[in-house]
Structure formats: structure tokens, C-alpha cells
Amino acid sequence: MNVPADLRYAKTHEWIRQENDVITVGITDHAQSELTDIVYAEPPKVGAEVRAGATAAVVESVKAASDIYSPLSGTVTEVNDALTSNPALLNTDPFGQGWIFKMKASNPTEIDALLAPEAYTAQIGQ
């Protein structure tokens, strides 16, 4: 299972990528593999306030709907519109074209509570 070294992870299987003050959020390779065929994605709205650990998006496989939790608190600045027409990007490229939303963190110290790649790898039992 792919766990890129340059990202931080939530226990609930989301990742963040930090570039200056822009945080990109997606789900991990492990998460997409567990969810299987993703057929629908409902990202948050631009401008929405999200809270760390609270539901920010929903992705659905044929079998089940799954909440996606925001790893950090802040404001949504951009969402990945490509997921509307091609939700399978979450399966095929979870760390790239399958990103879900970008945000501006209101409390960047929350990042310290996220897992480093090694810790997340240990959590998923690799």
C-alpha cells in the first residue's frame, strides 16, 4: 500500500499536503482500497468552514456511503470538480488527481496531531 513520505495522515485515513498556506486533502490508498469502486463523491462547498475530525465530504462505493473527515479546522478554498464526473479518480490516483479539497487552516498547530508516514503505515498494519 502506497504511503507517500511527504504527507501527513489522519487516523481516519485522510492525508494532507502542505504547500505554503494551502492544505490539500484526500483519502489514502488504503482507504480507497477498502472502499472499493467509488461511484460518487460529494466534496464540501468552497467557503465552507470545516472542523478537525468533523465530516467534510462523502464518498460512496456501490455498497456504502463513507464520511470523509477534515484533518484540520479551517476554510475550504477549492474543491476538485473532476470528481463529480469521474469519482473513480479516488481509486486510481488517490494522492494526485483524486484530491478532494483545498483549505486554509485556522489552527495550523493541529498539524502536529496528525500522523507521520511511518506511524500511519504502522496503523494500517503494513
The cell numbers describing 18, all together, are 502542505
Place of cell 472502499: 35
Min CB(58)–another protein separation in Å: 7
Residue 63, interface with another protein (CB under 8 A)?
yes
Alpha-carbon distance of 107 to 96, in angstroms, equals 25
Comparing CB distances to another protein, the nearer of 24 and 91 is 91
Residue 65, interface with another protein (CB under 8 A)?
yes
Euclidean distance between the first and the last CA atom of the chain, given in angstroms as a whole number: 7
Cβ within 8 Å of residue 122, ≥6 positions away: none
Alpha-carbon distance of 40 to 87, in angstroms, equals 5
Residue 37, interface with another protein (CB under 8 A)?
yes
Comparing CB distances to another protein, the nearer of 88 and 111 is 88
Residue 61, interface with another protein (CB under 8 A)?
yes
Min CB(116)–another protein separation in Å: 28
Site for another protein, rule CB under 8 A = 36-37, 39-40, 42, 58, 60-63, 65
